[in-house]
Each structure stands twice: as C-alpha cells, then as structure tokens.
A and B are shown apart, each in its own frame.
Chain A
Amino acid sequence: MTLVETNPAVGEEDRPVNLWRDAWHRLKRNKLAIFGLGIVVLLAFVAIFGPYLTPHDFLSQDLQARNQAPSLAHLFGTDDLGRDVFSRVVYGTRTAFLVAIVVTAIALLIGTTLGAVAGFFGDPYDRVIMWLTDMTMSVPNLLLVVVINASLKTPIARWMETQYMATLNPFYRETIWIDFFLVFGSMAMISWPPYARLVRAQVLSIRSRPYITAAMALGLSNRIIMMRYVVPNALGPLIVSVSAGLGTAMVLESAFSFLGVGVNPPTPSWGNMISDGLRVWQHHPHLLAAPAAVLGLASVAFSFLGDGLNDALNPRGTK
C-alpha cells in the first residue's frame, strides 16, 4: 500500500523500550541511587526476615550482662536490662518499616484523593481542601501529635479495657495496638498535606494537556480519565516524594519516641532506643550509636533513592 510510511522519522523517536525500562536504565547509571536502593533492599530484607535470624531474642533479659560493650556474642553490645542491642535494632527495623509504610500509605491515600479532587473538580472543592491543607500545615507537627496523643490515648485505653471486660477477648489486652494506632494515625494526619499539594499541582498541569481534552472527546467518564489518564501521568513525582517520605516517616517516628509519644517499650523502635540511649550516652555510647547510625543510614538511603528516581523518571532531565 502506498500509504505505508516505509521510513518513519528516523532517530530520536525510535526507542524500542518503554518508559519504566528507560527509567531503570537511567537509574542504573546513578551510583548514589543504586547505593540507596541497595541499602533500602537490605533493610527491607532485615525487616522481614531479620527477627527470625538474630542469635538472641530482642526481649530476653540477661541481668548478668548489662550494658556490655560490643563483642562477638553481642555485636552491638547489650542494654541496661542485658538485652541484645543488635537483635533490638533488627527488630526496630521491622517497626520502622511498618510505621513508615503504613503512615505513608495512609497519608498518600488521603493526600492523593484530596489533591486529585481539588485539582480536577476545582472550586468549591479546591478552596475547602486547600484551606484544610494550609490549616494542617500551619499547626506545628509535634504540637498536633502531642495533642492527639494526650486527648485520645486515655479514652481509647479505657474503651479497650471495657471491651476486654465485656468480651474477654485477649486482643483488647494488647495495649501495643493503641500505640501503633495513635502513632500511625497522628503521623498520617501531619504527613498528608505535601502529597495533597503535589497531586493537586500535578493534576492542574495535566488537566490542561491536550491528551485530556482528547480523552474527553472520546466520551470517557471522569472517573476513567482520572484513573487512566491523570493519575498515571502524575505518578513520577509522586513516587519520588513517597520514597523521600518513607525516610522522613522513620525520622519522625524517632522524634516522637524521643518525646514519649512514639512506639512504646518493650517493642523496640529505633526511636525509643535512641531516646533511651541519649540518657546514658556518656557511659554507654553504643546504646545511642547503633540505632542512630542505622536510622541515619536508612534516611540517607531513601533520600538518595528518591533523588535518583526523580532524575530517572524524567526523560527530559538526561539529554
């Protein structure tokens, strides 16, 4: 057929790979990003399998061997109750990932929904949602968390107690759930606004692109346009900010633990280990150094990975 273009515009457009594979190729060339990715993968592995592999139980106390310096038997030494710090750091990794993933997921869900609605449907939703976002951001984070904790912890604990009395279900005896619930909830409450803003800005910019008009001209529903045209195009920057957000959430959890509103002992978290360690660091520096170093490493790794993804997902960024 004469219609066939035998020689479609050669060169720059003839790339036989798709967007994600392209991004992966670009990411592989970025050493810092690969370093970050390696650390993140390692920590994730530790979080999942670590607690089964450690030589000691993170709770078992050995009062004969308290506050020992690092040795072969106890790689990171022992704490004031004679618990193995290495095992606790390993278990803390699980806590850190759990907090980071759950908090980021909740924040992302809230932020993405609100941001997308604000950007896509405009006023009056936009005005209300942006007002809410600004409000939330203008209250100091730690203040908000302390208030949430102070006002909710006791009532919830009391409610759990009555539930236990009524049902004798041991689930209600686990006060650990209250901690997690409050920590997750309050951290998510302060973490969603940046996602809402980012998604809104993305949606606003994408909404005016010709392919959105083209999709509307096809008679597709708003929901489909949103899910298949707007959101996937907004994903790049969102992935980047999620990666950075995971690291931030880990640091945030530590800050909360330090203030006594984080995950509580005996569940090890890097945060409560750091906060315990801070009290005795002049005498037993390893109690501070071990969790702090791992937290620092995780935070740096997520930030490197985020930056790398940012470059990799933006084809125009690299020639």
Chain B
Amino acid sequence: MTAQDTKERLLDVKGLTVEIDGRRGPAVVVDGIDLHVTKGETLGVVGESGCGKSLTMLSLMRLLPNKIKVTSGSADFDGQDLQKMSARALRKVRGGEIGFVFQDPMTSLNPVMRVGDQICEPLLYHRGMSRQDARKRAVELLRLVGIPGPEERLNAYPHELSGGMRQRVMIAIGLACDPKLLIADEPTTALDVTIQAQIVDLVKQLRSKLGMSVVWITHDLALIAGLADRVVVLYAGTVVEDAPVDALFANPSHPYTRGLLASIPTLSDAPAARLSSIGGTPPEPGRRPPGCPFAPRCPLAMDICRRDVPKLEPISSEGSHRAACFAVQKALKAA
C-alpha cells in the first residue's frame, strides 16, 4: 500500500468509459479512466483540448449531453457510486457536495438573472434557507471571492461584470453550500493572464480556508505547478501518466507529458518554439489508432506501440508515479 492509498479517498473513479453515439456508430471518448482524489487534495487534470477532460468531469455528475453516455465504470463519492445513485440523491450531491466551476464565465451564468439570485439558488434549494438568509450568505460569498462592494454587486446582471468578476461569481456559486469537492473545468482559460493568476491565488486561499478537495482541469501544465498536489495527464481519453506534482515536474516520463512540458514557455522562448514541440493533434473520437493512442505523434514509437495498448504501471519505487508507455517501461527494466 502506498501513502496515497492509505488516505481516505473522497472521489474514486474506476474504469470510467464514455461513448458518443455518432453517425458512424459509437465512438469511445473516455476509455476506462481510473482516478481518485483524497480529502483536502488538489488534483490537476491536464491534457490538450479534445482529450476528454470536460466529458470525464461531466460524466461523473451525469451531466452529459444527449447521445453521449457512460457505458461502464463507477465513480464513488464519499462511499456512494454517483453512477448508480437515484436522480434525487444525485441532485443533492450536485451543487451541495460537489461544486462546479465552468470554463466560460461569459456563457455559464444566466444572462437574465441577477448574480445575487444565482448565488442564492443553491442555498435555497440545498440548505432550505430563507431568501433573506441566503442573501446575507451571498454577500459573504462575494466578499470571500474578493468582489468589492458585494452588496451592490448582488443586484448586477452578469453582463454588467467583467470576465474576471464573473468567474469569481461562478466560484462563489460553486462554493455556496460548502462543497467537499470543487471541480473547476479550465476556469481561467477564457481570462487574460493577470486575471488568471488572481483566480488561481483565490482558489489556493479558499482551498486551505475551507479544507475542500479540488479537481482543477487545464490544458496548461505550467498553471498546475504551484497549485496541484498530484497531476493526472490525459491523452485521447486515457490516463497516460499520474504522479505527485513534484515528481512529475522533476521526472516527466511519458513522451506526451514531456512534450507538454516542452510547450511551457520560458522567458527566453520565442512563441514559435513552443508551438512546434509536439506535432499533430489528438485523434478524433472514433479514429483512435490501435495500440498506444499517442503512437502517431510519438518520437519514440516502436512496433509494439502500434500493436498493443500500454498499461499504466508504477515507475517509481513507492508506486505513486505511474506511466503508460512501453519505452518508459523498457528503459526501467534496462536500468
């Protein structure tokens, strides 16, 4: 047993598989993912856009759009399988125990509802608060997420706020009921760089203040460095590497992770240099190659890679760092 396993798992996802019903038949987008989050931990989920990060998180909460279905796997949250739970029980978890923050604060708030009312909504529903109490709590929440003049902002419509302010409001809504877990799906992607940093700082502060677990989804590995305790790297709907954050940055193993790291701009990097670090794009659902899904883009690809699917296996002595790559495993055996 590793150190991680002994800690209590708040969220434990096993073999989660998601398929899209396309015109050419069902296509796998999330392929038997395992991941977990322990209490108080921040998990970073990283991968290029189109790797299935959003669908993974939406499928956990059974929020998938029509024609996209979970076909197997389980997702235990606090000891209960979210996939098997009754719709009523699930609604209690949504917003009550698990808060969500979405990518685009411009379109994720109801444009015709005052932000105060939107913050009150989960409080009225999950906490059964009176409207008055809910509004008081909403003011507290707006203050908590660093919005100046919270009493007045309560009456603002989303379009009257800047992007950064709207994302703070989203976070306030996500936090309204003191969730045990906050899932943030690229919450800073739509914001400019300085605001990004502020939002990251905000979540860091709130996390320790409120003692919650966080799943932070991003395509930007650099953003994760100072934020996550552990990182899961997704490629084409599979976990290709997972590790404690320090181990990942000290010893990135999977060629995809290394490619992502090479795309982190350093001060000396010209923009052109980072764009060229991994050629090609992730495969579309339904067009995944047999064998290792990364093989078509991998500089180390061997024959076996095009034939067999590499399994996620420990590559560190204590087992907390794992990668799914034949080349890595071969090098390990040789050493």
Contact = CB atoms under 8 A, between A and B. Distances in A.
Interface string A157-194: 00000000000000000000000000000000000000
Contact of A8 (B66, B110, B165): B165
Contacts of A208: 65
Contacts of A15: 159-160
Interface in A185-242: 208-211, 213-221, 224, 228-229, 232-233, 235
Interface string B160-195: 111111000010010000000000000000000001
**Chain B interface: which size bin?**
35 or more
B198 A3 contact: yes
Given A3-B202, A8-B164, A220-B125, A211 B91 contact: no
Question: Main secondary structure on chain A at its contact with chain B?
Answer: loop
A211 B157 CA distance: 14
Nearest to A1: B146
A214 B101 CA distance: 8
Interface in B96-122: 96, 100, 102-104, 107-113, 121-122
**Chain A interface: which size bin?**
20 to 34
B108 A210 contact: yes
Interface in B106-161: 107-113, 121-122, 125-126, 145-148, 157, 159-161
B162 A216 contact: no
A197 B121 CA distance: 30
Nearest to B198: A3
B159 A232 contact: no
B8 interface: no
A233 B157 CA distance: 13
A13 B135 CA distance: 24
A212 B100 CA distance: 13
Given A3-B201, A19-B157, A211-B111, A219 B94 contact: yes
A9 interface: yes
Given A5-B162, A213-B58, A219 B92 contact: yes
Contacts of B112: 19, 232-233, 235
Nearest to A230: B110
A215 B110 contact: yes
B110 A9 contact: no
A16 interface: yes
B125 A219 contact: yes
Contacts of B301: none
Nearest to A10: B162
B95 interface: yes
B93 interface: yes
Contact of B66 (A122, A216, A228, A232): A122
22 contacts: A3-B145, A3-B198, A4-B146, A4-B148, A5-B198, A9-B162, A210-B104, A211-B109, A211-B110, A214-B102, A214-B108, A214-B109, A214-B170, A214-B173, A217-B102, A218-B95, A219-B90, A219-B122, A220-B122, A224-B121, A228-B110, A232-B112
Q: Which 3 A-B pairs have the closest CB atoms?
A: A3-B146, A219-B94, A218-B95
